[in-house]
Chains A and B, each alone.
Chain A
């Protein structure tokens, strides 16, 4: 009898011979059993403002204890963390930090949440899962920044402990996902629906890259899909691209493109649309009803917050999000 195994974590579904490592670089078949190579071995540990993730409707002005291990389920040519996401675990300077220690450190530093981020947290699923369970017991929230490239069963299991997710919806074409990321769009859309269905607070980030995914027709189509399938309350962040990794030959996204994308999204019906990587008033949160300034931000920092008990201080309407 052979000792081949099949990973059932992400839609790639790697089939691994004995001692073969998965495409994510973090899972190995040892004598017919699949093991994680990165459990308790984060290569990035930092305390960040939650706005950096970005979460704009989740515990504003709090800090997130942020961790990542090496590896990724995709291979995006524009990755900003490619030094760790496209590395083998042994190629990174990781430390040993157990799930208990992560939660202990988060509490020690007064962080309201633990965020699984920087690389794709799906690759350190078991580490994230165990940490999230412990964190929840101590009333520390769990959030993740993910590409959403994960199968339904593990995502539903994780959602029991995950409070919020920011998902990169990288484009709205299968062609982009295939050529630029080495993945597929459909599983990401499915994940967004699952997260919504499980009651996880959801925000979406779309990195707008010149010539590759900046077609306003496609952006409109994407926004319509969001409104129809996830509702108009989901915050959407349009982020400005800068030349990086394998896409150094492209220019930075013109600010006008981000502005047009934002206007398009709001025309379609999304209530909370933000711009990222650009300093502008589109970093602020405005009440969707009375248009008053609710949260004023400069970069990752909150200058004023006019949301009281989850409601607009000026007109009293409920503002979607998790505010306390």
Chain B
């Protein structure tokens, strides 16, 4: 493979990956991490 061929494949690959649709966690129904949950029983220390 010549340097020219390699460059061609490299650019073509890059172009295709840009055009292709990204697969995200949401699309494959992957579970998201739970959001942080505020605790139910606590108080600000400064409050009486």
Contact = CB atoms under 8 A, between A and B. Distances in A.
B32 A96 contact: yes
A8 B46 contact: no
Interface residues of B, number: 15
B44 interface: yes
Interface size class, chain A: 20 to 34
A15 interface: yes
A40 B40 CA distance: 15
Q: Which of A30, A40, A151 has the most CB of B within 10 A?
A: A40
Nearest to A32: B44
Given A34-B39, A36-B39, 17 more contacts: A2-B45, A2-B46, A4-B45, A5-B42, A5-B45, A6-B42, A8-B43, A27-B39, A27-B42, A30-B36, A35-B38, A37-B36, A39-B37, A41-B34, A96-B31, A125-B40, A126-B39
A56 to B, nearest CB: 32
A96 B43 CA distance: 28
Contacts of A151: 41
A40 B36 CA distance: 9
A8 B37 contact: no
B41 A7 contact: yes
Interface string B2-43: 000000000000000000000000000001111011111111
Contacts of A40: 34, 37
Nearest to B39: A34
Interface string A148-189: 000101100100000000000000000000000000000000
Contacts of B41: 7-9, 125, 151, 153-154
Pick the 3 closest A-B CB pairs, nearest first.
Answer: A40-B34, A4-B45, A39-B37
Contacts of B42: 5-9, 27, 34
Nearest to A126: B37
Contacts, number: 69
Contact of A96 (B34, B36, B38, B40): B34
Contacts of B31: 96, 98
Interface of A: 1-9, 15, 27, 30, 32-37, 39-41, 96, 98, 125-127, 129, 151, 153-154, 157
Query: Interface of chain A, helix or strand or loop or mixed?
Result: mixed
Given A39-B34, A41-B34, A96-B33, A5 B43 contact: yes
Nearest to B35: A39
A6 B45 contact: yes
A4 B46 CA distance: 7
Contacts of B39: 7, 9, 27, 34-36, 125-126
B45 A34 contact: no
Nearest to B37: A39
B17 to A, nearest CB: 29
18 contacts: A1-B46, A2-B46, A4-B45, A5-B43, A6-B42, A8-B42, A9-B40, A9-B41, A9-B42, A15-B45, A33-B38, A35-B36, A35-B37, A35-B38, A39-B34, A98-B31, A126-B37, A151-B41
Nearest to A40: B34
B44 A5 contact: yes
